[in-house]
Each structure stands twice: as C-alpha cells, then as structure tokens.
C-alpha cells in the first residue's frame, strides 16, 4: 500500500524501524526496552516489523577499553565483532518479555548490489517475517571496507525498505524532526511534511555530534528521499517518540511517498 500520511503508519502492513548508535548504547542503553515495547505492541497487532539497528561498534568499545570511536578499520571491525553479539543479546533479552524471537541479518553494500546476494537476503527476510521472527539488520562491519560501506545505516535502512517493499520507514535518532537549521540554533523550525523536496530549499543540516555514530540530518534526508521515491512513506523522529511514531501520531517530519 502507499500511505497517504503519517497517521496511516498505525495500519501499515510492513514497517522498517531504524535506530542510531547513540540512541541505544552507552548511557542510553536503557532505551532498548521502550523501543522493544513499541515494536512489540505493533508486532502484536499484526504489523510486520524489521529493525535496522546501528550500535555494534559503540556497544563493543567499552569491552576493548576504548573511550572514543576507533578510526582504523581493523579496530572498528574488532569492536563490531564484540559489540554485535552483545547488541543482539540485549535486544533478545528484552524481546523475551513478549515471546518474540529475533533473527540477525548482517549485510554489506556489496550484498545489495549483487543480484544473487540481494535475492538471497530478500528471500531470507521474507521467510523470517513469515515465521513471525523479528529481523534485526545491521551492516556487517567485520568484513566491510571503507570502499564498500553503506556509510551510515540510514541508507541501509532505505535499501532494506526497498528490498522488502515496506509501507513505511521510521528513522529514529536523538532529534525529533528535521528542522530548517540545526535545532539548537535560534530560529530553527520543524519541517512537518516533505512532498517534493522544495520544502528543504535553503535548509542547513548539521552533522552527527554523538561521537559514536556516522549519520546526521543530511543522511536521513538522503535516505528518506530514496525510500520515498520508491513508494515507502518515511517518518523522521526521535527514539524516545517511537511508540507515538508507530501509532501514527502527528510528530516528526513525514516524507510523502511516490505512489507505487
């Protein structure tokens, strides 16, 4: 289906939810439970939920005694190898409260460019969804290189939305919407709806300031436009408002989908 507006998210058949590293790691690790609460509520009323979760490197950093995100690829890979295991374990522990089982799906950019790998990924996720398993997707950081990385999981989430023909994509971060300028600056105004992109003329985007992620407002806009252009409605809002987002509340920034 093509969703006319954000209120239709509640009745969507299939929704991809993307959460950033800073939202569910470090001091914010407690945000996993309310995120799972919201997804479980939607799952319980029959919505097919796919979670795209960043956070493997950020989760692994303390166990490698790192105080800041590593810059060299090998250490990033090592942190991801440790962190991915812990991240999925934390999600599963929370999902156990609802009797929901998670399935881990790790992808590289090359997987979605290669027709055979792409088909395999699509088939696997469709089967997981059909079995009422909640897929948790992340970039496969242990084998990705600088040259072939998605760059940020906002783009990965958009590509997953296209892959599974999602009705809606909910991009979560620390900020509750897209603003006309970085929201901490005077005069910043929320952009409620983006229909054809003209609403973003003259908008100034800030970069991620969390120190653990790689995204920012510009990556979310780019990913939202990509997904919306293929028929998926996109809502950009904050992680703390995920329950409202999945209930179709009038929050965040809504990117109108192109009719399929």
226: buried, middle or exposed (CB in 10 Å: 19+, 13-18, 0-12)?
buried
Q: Is 120 known as a binding-site position?
A: no
94 known member of a binding site: no
18 is in an annotated binding site: yes
Is 220 annotated to bind ligand? no
Q: Do 201 and 195 form a contact (C-beta atoms < 8 A)? A: no
22 is in an annotated binding site: no
Is residue 54 marked as binding?
A: yes
Helix 73-95 and helix 32-44: axis angle, to 10°? 50
Q: Encode burial over 23-58: b for 16+ CB neighbours within 10 A, e otherwise.
A: bbbbebbebbeebbebbbebbeeebbbbbbbbbbbb
Strand, coil or helix: what is 12? Answer: coil
d(CA 50, CA 177): 21
Q: Which residues make up each annotated binding site?
A: 18, 54, 141, 153, 173-174
Q: Which residues make up each annotated binding site for substrate?
A: 54, 141, 153
Q: Which residues make up each annotated binding site for ATP?
A: 18, 173-174
């Amino acid at each position: 289906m093509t969703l006319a507006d954000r209120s239709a998210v509640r009745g969507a058949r299939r929704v991809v939810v993307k959460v950033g590293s800073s939202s569910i790691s470090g001091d914010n690790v407690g945000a996993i439970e309310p995120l799972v609460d919201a997804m479980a509520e939607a799952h319980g009323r029959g919505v097919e939920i796919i979670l795209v979760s960043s956070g493997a490197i950020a989760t692994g950093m303390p166990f490698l005694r790192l105080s800041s995100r590593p810059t060299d690829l090998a250490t990033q890979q090592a942190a991801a190898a440790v962190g991915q295991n812990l991240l999925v374990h934390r999600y599963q522990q929370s999902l156990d409260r609802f009797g929901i089982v998670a399935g881990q799906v790790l992808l590289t950019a090359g997987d979605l460019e290669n027709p055979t790998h792409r088909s395999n990924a699509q088939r696997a996720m469709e089967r997981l969804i059909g079995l009422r398993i909640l897929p948790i997707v992340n970039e496969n950081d242990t084998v990705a290189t600088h040259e072939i990385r998605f760059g940020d999981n906002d783009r990965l989430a958009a590509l997953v939305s296209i892959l599974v023909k999602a009705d809606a994509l909910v991009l979560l971060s620390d900020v509750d919407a897209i603003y006309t300028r970085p929201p901490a600056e005077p005069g910043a105004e929320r952009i409620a709806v983006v229909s054809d992109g003209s609403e973003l003329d003259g908008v100034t985007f800030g970069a991620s300031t969390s120190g653990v992620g790689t995204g920012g407002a510009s990556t979310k806009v780019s990913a939202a436009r990509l997904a919306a252009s293929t028929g998926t409605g996109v809502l950009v809002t904050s992680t703390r408002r995920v329950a409202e987002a999945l209930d179709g509340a009038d929050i965040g920034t809504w990117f109108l989908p192109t009719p399929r």
